[in-house]
Structure 1
Amino acid sequence: MSEQHQPIEGGTAERKLGGIGSRILFEDAKVRIWELALAPGERSDVHRHDLDYYLVQIGGDRIAVEPEPDSAGEYRDYFAADVVPGVVVPMKRGGVETAVNVGEQPYYEIIVELKDA
């Protein structure tokens, strides 16, 4: 996962930001496609969504999002939900968060970032 350093809002400390997924599957001038795979109890890197994107849930039973205090995304509070394989969720850029597999099954999703033209 790629790593960035970003000042934490309201302070001088820096946090490390990782990639939004486990690995990039495909990238061209229009999209970047990631996979995210998390074992039960596993957490993603803290990451920032700089582009609008779609989530495609593939497998798992329960997933949570832990937003950072300076998140400007759609979820600004802790959010957990059941996984619905095949569901596609459009999301807006701006979120700074960690995904957490709070279920008992491995979690798997595809993330399709839409690059700005």
Structure 2
Amino acid sequence: MTQDRALGGIGSRILFENDRVRVWELRLAPGERSDVHRHELDHVLIQIAGDRIAVHPEPDTEGPYRDHLEADVVPGAAVYVGRGGVETAVNPGACPYHEVIVELKT
């Protein structure tokens, strides 16, 4: 792991948080990249809008995605993802990307 690497938030902003869940919103314009971030908690991704999304895992990732992954966006799709990922989300599409991320604290 890179000790001096600065990690950002997993989304654009927090929509809600209590002792059981944290809910993020992620919005990426076409060609935009998120901050490099670490998923400390299991979470559910809910795709709202967009046409393509990609994830670029870091070499020290411990999450389920170890290689670059790019896929079509399916609005309304909900995907469970285990903790441990260190990655950057990228919008390679032509449309703005919008997603809600629900982190599970318990």
TM-score normalised according to structure 2 size: 0.98
Please provide the CA RMSD for this pair. Answer: 0.8
Residue 49 of structure 1, aligned match among 23, 39, 56? 39
Q: TM-score, normalised to structure 1's length?
A: 0.89
Match of 2:6 among 11, 16, 34: 16
Which has the higher relative contact order, 1 or 2, with Cα contacts under 8 A spaced 6 or more apart? Answer: 2
Gaps of 5+ in 2: none
Tell me the amino acid that sits aligned with residue 93 of structure 1: R
Task: Count matched residues.
Answer: 106
Unaligned runs of 5+ in 1: 1-6
1:102 matches 2:92: yes
* % identical aligned pairs: 69
The runs of at least 4 consecutive aligned structure 1 residues that moved more than 6 Å come to: none
Amino acid at match of 1:103: G
Please state whether the residue corresponding to 2:23 is helix, strand or coil: strand
Of structures 1 and 2, the larger Rg is shown by: 1
Identify the residue that residue 48 of structure 2 maps to in structure 1: 58
